[in-house]
Structure 1
Amino acid sequence: MFVNKSVIGKLIGISLVFVLLLMGRSSETSLAADTEATSIYLPLIVRNFPPPPTVFGVEVHSFTNQDVIRLAVDARVSWVRIAAFDWSKIEPNAPVGNVHTYDWSKALESSLENIGRNHLRPIATVKMAPSWAQKYAGVSCGPIAAEKFTDFAAFLQAAVQRYSQPPYNVHHWELGNEPDVSRELVPADYPFGCWGEKGQTYYGGEYYAEMLKVAYPAIKAADPTAKVSIGGLLMDCDPNDPQCTDPAASKFLEGILRNQGAGYFDMLSFHAYPAFYTPANPFYSDLHHPKWDLRGGILDGKLDYIHEVMNTYGVSKPISLNEGGLMCVEPSQYCPPSVGIPYFLDAQASYVVWYYVRALAGGVENAIWYTFEGSGWRSVGMIGDDPSQPRDAYKVFKFITSELADVTYTGRVNTGSALHGYAFSKTGKVIWVLWSPDGQAHNFTLPAGYDQILDRFGNPVTPGNGVISINSPVYIEF
């Protein structure tokens, strides 16, 4: 292979200059709100020339822990979702004489700086209305009063002007989180969203669209390259499923589109969380969720429903699966995880493959695992509490981000058995990903011409007489 030594020399020189600049910067005082220093990791000599983004993303509560940053960079994370902007804390007091006062120290500036400087792509969530801007007094997670939409737009424009620039480089903005949840179902200060209106046909989606019509132009005026996402939708159930107890709750999206909201956002986001079932059949609640089983389960079913609604209104938007993971829901025989932790952690590691492979097959823009650090809500955390000894889920994630980077989904694999299979292609290679959907091992006769078989961690698998037994996910390369 021909190697242009002069090009390599230039890259090395550029990298050395870059490192020297970083060393010189170490004595500077940070203006960011968080207390830990900015951290930059360069695992590759040309890390400062990052490749195009892949589908692989994670969510963090903060991004200042040195070990967490290193793990994210080592795993080639492309997207980092973070609830960086709490409007109620940044602008707790109403403007006086149309003069707004913002306390940017309440934004997660150090986290955003670390994300940006490590060439990851932040998805910044904006949440919580201050008391003076609430439609319903005392409900900070709820809708903003219509007469305060312009104040919200002013806040967003100021935030975009400040944080779209280096070192933050925020260009993806998410307005709220799970706005299709009703304030009647959660605490008034619920840390997510609660714009939902029980009793309304479209659950408040039309009102949310009115907010978008004011907020979106303000964001675009500050940064024409910005991408605006609606808050990730919970979508509790398939409205057409007989077991859906409140069909209107999942019509929030339809309310947005009915009120001409499609022209005021760039990306549509949703969430999908199955619960760990039993060691014998850990992912039963994914494929057979009682409120989504008619459409293929909680992940594929929600994606199918979103496409159906968009098609109904002649809308086509990129989709983000911006929250998901395997939950250990209490109480059950194996949860809390202190009882069944070996079973749950093993299932969680396999579900990483289930999650991202189907996201790729579904054509989403990105898929975000909630959360990356810590044990997380209902034990969904990928790393666990000790970053020096990450969970198997992280180890599986680190391999899949490499193995399925830059792939093209080509279709389902006809396994001839109960196994599920997905086929991908990339330069010079075809990759099949196969797993058992029912927690039981199934034999698979290997086709002619394969190069190697790898387990979920990337370790070689040796078949016996052209047959392998598959339960956990495997990769077959051609």
Structure 2
Amino acid sequence: MHTTRMQLMIALLLLGVVFGGQFFLPFAQPVSQLRIETGNAQSEVANPGSVYLPFVFLKSPLLTRFGIEMAHVTEVGGLSKVVESGANWIRLNGVQWGEIEPVRYSPPVYNWDALSGLEQELQTAAEQGFRVILVVRDTPSWAQLVAGSSCGPIKPEYYTAFGEFLAALVGRLGKFPYEVDYWEIWNEPDVSINTTNTTYGCWGDLNDEAYFGGDHYGAMLKTVYPYIKQADSTAQVLVGGLLLYCNPTALFQCEKDDDSHKFLGGMLAAGAGPYFDGISFHAYDSFFYVGGAIGMYGNTNWNTLWNNNGPVIAAKAEFIRSVLQFYLVPDKYLINTESALLCGKATDPPGQFPCETASNSAFELTKAYYVPQAYAAAIAADLRANVWFNLAGWRNSGLIYHNKTGRPAFYAYKFAREELRDAAYVGRITESDIGAITGVVGHKFRQGGKIIWLIWSLDGADHVVTLSQAPLAVYDVDGTPIVISDNSLTVTIQPYYVEFPN
């Protein structure tokens, strides 16, 4: 734990003794991952065998699962809108090793000036109370296993050099005034090796039929993890956001990287289980345009659909946990660091049919309806966080327009965060809850003194449900109140929040 954090914690604990501070457990966190909340200074318990009850200061920001990726934590980058949204997590991509250590010297020489802009953004994020997930990537030319592949694997003889760099980086950015806690090692490393794409990938080895290169990534983690923990024992090390392009049971539908699902198993087979704290993964769904209908989406590579088992978050989380269980390392938390509803190709002009940007377009409304469904799925899957990718948008996924005004999905995000901020998952809405009505799906949560349902039509038709008791309130996705009579609720393709007394 950083010295400044320890001093602050001790001071607050003493104040708690003097003034009768209240101690309680935070939401949905296992004992091995309890946090010490001390204003903006927060840290994980390093020793799973130790249990600390957190002192919660009155001005401590509420930690939720809601996050947003930003290109830059600046006003131009949309900082005011992220603050307005209520998001607690920001993901930044990130730090490029190759820029900071372009030449290998002994002892190493780091060009920290390359981080000057990022450091200002990290300081701003810390001042605003955000928890930052910082991606570290980019192999310097002198360390590349495959020449010209900066996103690709590191030569094994330079794993130690990467560890030394990470130790220096964590020692620099993991303390005041930057306070970075979460370190994501690479971005989509399970993408196949290439020399053209540098922002994601690419450790995936098409010639490795057993593990798709995951064993090499695992060997790297085994080397660098101790360096990170030596620099900051509370630092959280994340497996770089796994793309998981294909469900291994749905390979016939996949077009590329068919063996990417073997990557995680390769890491664990290499003995990397003790050498990371959590797994970051990416889960996207795509909008389906069917005659202008609203609410249709899916991920064909994972056989998930809006009217069956979507969003895809649940399927990917279940797969990851099955692999962890197989290798006997089940006690790892998961974070979806890229979540969104996509439309069109990356090379298509934004807003091109059928991805029109008008607030009443089928796509923008579907995206708004998808937001609460995605966060409900994240809570149901017990993810530590779910990060929307991204604020400005990729493949039309944005929450805001170019003029920084909110799209419908922004207001859906903002209200979802308000309703589900620290909600505990209760379970699925069953037919017995709604009088045996079929074609309806939803989730139940406990939040404060309320039970909250998130409910919508699974088949797209309207269904009249008679509630067993009068609700406290009913809201649509952006928080507009819905008036009902005689406890009769018409469930539509738009998700509704229904609040009941606990």
Q: TM bucket by the smaller chain?
A: 0.7 to 0.9
- CA separation in 1, counterparts of 2:409 and 2:297? 19
Q: Are residues 1:270 and 2:286 paired?
A: no
Q: Are residues 1:235 and 2:244 paired?
A: yes
In the other structure, the counterpart of 1:68 is 78
- CA separation in 2, counterparts of 1:336 and 1:58? 21
In the other structure, the counterpart of 1:354 is 373
Higher alpha-carbon deviation: 153-162 or 432-441: 432-441
Task: Report how far residue 442 of structure 1 moved.
Answer: 2.9
Residues 303, 146 of structure 1: alpha-carbon distance in 2 compared, 3 angstrom cutoff: same
- CA separation in 2, counterparts of 1:353 and 1:265? 30
Residues 451, 428 of structure 1: alpha-carbon distance in 2 compared, 3 angstrom cutoff: same
CA contact (8 A) 1:128 1:193 kept: no
Q: Are residues 1:365 and 2:378 paired?
A: no
In the other structure, the counterpart of 1:396 is 412
Q: Are residues 1:428 and 2:428 paired?
A: no
Q: Are residues 1:256 and 2:267 paired?
A: yes
In the other structure, the counterpart of 2:303 is 292
In the other structure, the counterpart of 2:333 is 318
- CA separation in 1, counterparts of 2:362 and 2:294? 11
Unaligned runs of 5+ in 2: 1-15, 20-55
Task: Report how far residue 92 of structure 1 moved.
Answer: 1.5
| Superposed CA offset, 1:393-438 (max 9, x none) | 1111111111111211010011432121100012211100012234
Task: Report how far residue 135 of structure 1 moved.
Answer: 0.7
Task: Report how far residue 60 of structure 1 moved.
Answer: 0.7
Residues 177, 341 of structure 1: alpha-carbon distance in 2 compared, 3 angstrom cutoff: farther
| Length-normalised TM-score, structure 2 | 0.80
Higher alpha-carbon deviation: 240-249 or 412-421: 240-249
Unaligned runs of 5+ in 1: 1-6, 11-45
In the other structure, the counterpart of 1:462 is 483
Task: Report how far residue 104 of structure 1 moved.
Answer: 3.6
In the other structure, the counterpart of 1:215 is 224
Q: Are residues 1:383 and 2:400 paired?
A: yes
Higher alpha-carbon deviation: 68-77 or 134-143: 68-77
Choose the corresponding residue for 2:353, options 297, 313, 334. Answer: 334
In the other structure, the counterpart of 1:191 is 199
- CA separation in 1, counterparts of 2:76 and 2:297? 37
Residues 240, 385 of structure 1: alpha-carbon distance in 2 compared, 3 angstrom cutoff: same
Choose the corresponding residue for 2:464, options 443, 448, 458. Answer: 443
Task: Report how far residue 446 of structure 1 moved.
Answer: 2.3
SS in 2 for 1:275: strand
CA contact (8 A) 2:295 2:370 kept: no
Q: Are residues 1:224 and 2:236 paired?
A: no
Runs of 4 or more consecutive aligned structure 1 residues displaced over 6 Å after TM superposition: none
Task: Report how far residue 225 of structure 1 moved.
Answer: 0.5
Task: Report how far residue 381 of structure 1 moved.
Answer: 1.3
In the other structure, the counterpart of 2:494 is 472
Task: Report how far residue 338 of structure 1 moved.
Answer: 5.8
CA contact (8 A) 1:209 1:256 kept: yes
CA contact (8 A) 2:359 2:365 kept: no
SS in 2 for 1:285: strand
- CA separation in 1, counterparts of 2:460 and 2:400? 24
- CA separation in 2, counterparts of 1:291 and 1:405? 28
| Length-normalised TM-score, structure 1 | 0.84
SS in 2 for 1:368: strand
Q: One-letter code of the match for 1:248?
A: D
Residues 208, 244 of structure 1: alpha-carbon distance in 2 compared, 3 angstrom cutoff: farther
SS in 1 for 2:122: helix
CA contact (8 A) 2:466 2:489 kept: yes
Q: One-letter code of the match for 1:364?
A: L
In the other structure, the counterpart of 2:122 is 112
| Superposed CA offset, 1:210-232 (max 9, x none) | 11011111111111010000001
CA contact (8 A) 1:283 1:438 kept: no
SS in 2 for 1:377: coil
Q: One-letter code of the match for 1:302?
A: K
CA contact (8 A) 1:284 1:438 kept: no
- Identical aligned pairs, as a percentage? 35
Task: Report how far residue 240 of structure 1 moved.
Answer: 2.2
- CA separation in 2, counterparts of 1:51 and 1:209? 35
RMSD: 2.4
Q: One-letter code of the match for 1:292?
A: N
In the other structure, the counterpart of 1:417 is 438
In the other structure, the counterpart of 1:82 is 92
SS in 2 for 1:476: strand
Q: Are residues 1:139 and 2:161 paired?
A: no
| Superposed CA offset, 1:25-51 (max 9, x none) | xxxxxxxxxxxxxxxxxxxxx999323
Task: Report how far residue 384 of structure 1 moved.
Answer: 2.4
Choose the corresponding residue for 1:98, options 100, 103, 107. Answer: 107
- CA separation in 2, counterparts of 1:254 and 1:157? 27
Q: Are residues 1:283 and 2:296 paired?
A: yes
How many correspondences in the alignment?
A: 427
SS in 1 for 2:421: coil
SS in 2 for 1:321: strand
